[in-house]
Copies of this chain bind each other. A is one copy, B any other.
């Protein structure tokens, strides 16, 4: 019995002659009589092949394998699928793909949801090379994640060669090692088994695995494999991993630091991934200095690194307008103390950037670089040392408590004077909810003209001290709210039902 959105797996025996990774294809089309899902099986070494399938509806799904290896051809497979258990919501998708037309809002295109309709607001983190660390460190990372607010993690398949990250890993996606070189025609099944175990463990923690397929930080040759090998690798990666409901595809990290791969290659690689992904997971690509054209139809969401050192999460407003897709600022700089300006902002500033981005209708990812420790979270995982994760947790709860269809306040000539300086997330249709965030401003008070005919309860949120203080009474009309003259405050207004 396979639970809905989980993985059915059949293990088959076939040829081990020649190079089955290259030579053998294996397919199966699963049907429940109403729809059909075709999957690609894959080779695991020593004559072992696997066919995986993620059923998205309960019922009986059957398939008959097809292969150019007679031993793998014509095998009948049956997946009996039970309903999803509580907490299992399937893939994350753009909200406008999930929500029924009848309930659609303009705001849907800027957000995500699980495929069963459950709300999903990404609060990501970054541990690029955590699956390439010693096993004990990987286990520690999972322990840390259990207690952390993060529900998405940016992670590479290939190991990372970069300052503070120069050690060879134990195993690689391809067979071989740094001393003797790699066989770019054969994958290492143990590496992939280990990787899949980690993806599954993330799923158990409710964490989306934002898989970075290619990246430039390399001394082994994985960044410069060439077009054919790239495609060979991408197909294998997708054939194995697309059955995990919590997988997102990031075509590359800092694609523009691999200038030897032209835009045409990325577009082609995206088509390969889409062609092999039996389900249609989220897809994006991440920049360094030059933005990718996020209007491309294959891109489901913006996965952007801030271009400006000073104006970072505030750009969410512009990027939403420009791209009309969910905006995830996957790198807004990291909390920490590294010598370079991408990784030494304070916990306060990291927290501020999260709030700015969320109130503007976008999403942020966290990262941490405290270089005095053996493991640096941004690359190795391990443990967290910064001050922002607790505050991100607080923000995550505030965002979870907000009504689902909140949107950034639209500035008009009428409301401009009171609102030009501070972002506000609100529900304008029924005037039921307003969340103002004051960032580094420290006003002694603010004034508001509340919507006529409504009464509001007000709460003062200290986003740094993580407190919510209800203000006494009920508010109507033109009001003045006294504030503690501190940075990082917010005001939440909720309509009182008559």
Contact = CB atoms under 8 A, between A and B. Distances in A.
Interface of A: 308-311, 314, 337-342, 344-346, 349, 371-372, 420-422, 440-447, 485, 487
Contact of A344 (B310, B349, B420, B442): B442
14 contacts: A308-B311, A311-B311, A337-B442, A337-B444, A338-B443, A338-B444, A339-B443, A339-B447, A340-B421, A341-B443, A342-B421, A345-B441, A346-B442, A346-B487
Contacts of A442: 337, 344-346
- Highest count of chain B CB atoms <10 Å: which of A314, A345, A441, A445: A441
- Report whether over half of chain A's contact residues are helix, strand or loop; otherwise say mixed: loop
B487 A441 contact: no
A308 B317 CA distance: 13
A441 B310 CA distance: 11
Given A310-B311, A311-B311, A314-B310, A341 B444 contact: no
A443 B344 contact: yes
B337 A372 contact: no
Contact of A440 (B314, B349, B446): B349
Given A339-B444, A371-B444, 10 more contacts: A309-B421, A310-B311, A339-B445, A339-B446, A341-B420, A341-B422, A341-B441, A341-B443, A344-B441, A346-B442
Contacts of A420: 341
Nearest to A421: B341
Contacts of A349: 440
Contacts of A309: 314, 421
B342 A440 contact: no
A443 B337 contact: yes
A305 to B, nearest CB: 13
A288 to B, nearest CB: 11
Contacts of A338: 443-444
A63 B8 CA distance: 104
A429 to B, nearest CB: 27
Contacts of A311: 308, 310-311
A346 B443 contact: no
A445 B440 CA distance: 26
Contacts of A346: 440, 442, 487
A345 B439 CA distance: 10
Contacts of A446: 339
A485 B441 contact: no
Nearest to A313: B310
A442 B485 CA distance: 25
A374 to B, nearest CB: 15
Contacts of A337: 442-444, 485
A340 B417 CA distance: 9
A344 B442 CA distance: 5
Nearest to A338: B443
Contacts of A444: 337-339, 344, 371-372
Contacts of A440: 345-346, 349
Nearest to A342: B421
A465 B334 CA distance: 25
- Which 4 A/B pairs are nearest by Cβ-Cβ distance? A341-B421, A337-B444, A311-B311, A344-B443
Contacts of A345: 440-442
A458 to B, nearest CB: 15
A406 to B, nearest CB: 22
A78 to B, nearest CB: 58
Contacts of A422: 341
- Highest count of chain B CB atoms <10 Å: which of A314, A421, A422: A421
A447 B344 CA distance: 14
A340 B341 CA distance: 30
A357 to B, nearest CB: 12
A144 B290 CA distance: 49
A308 B338 CA distance: 28
A259 to B, nearest CB: 14
A311 B307 CA distance: 13
A154 to B, nearest CB: 21
A422 to B, nearest CB: 6
A385 to B, nearest CB: 12
A348 B338 CA distance: 22
A349 B339 CA distance: 22
Nearest to A308: B311
A352 to B, nearest CB: 10
Nearest to A420: B341
Nearest to A289: B420
A375 to B, nearest CB: 16
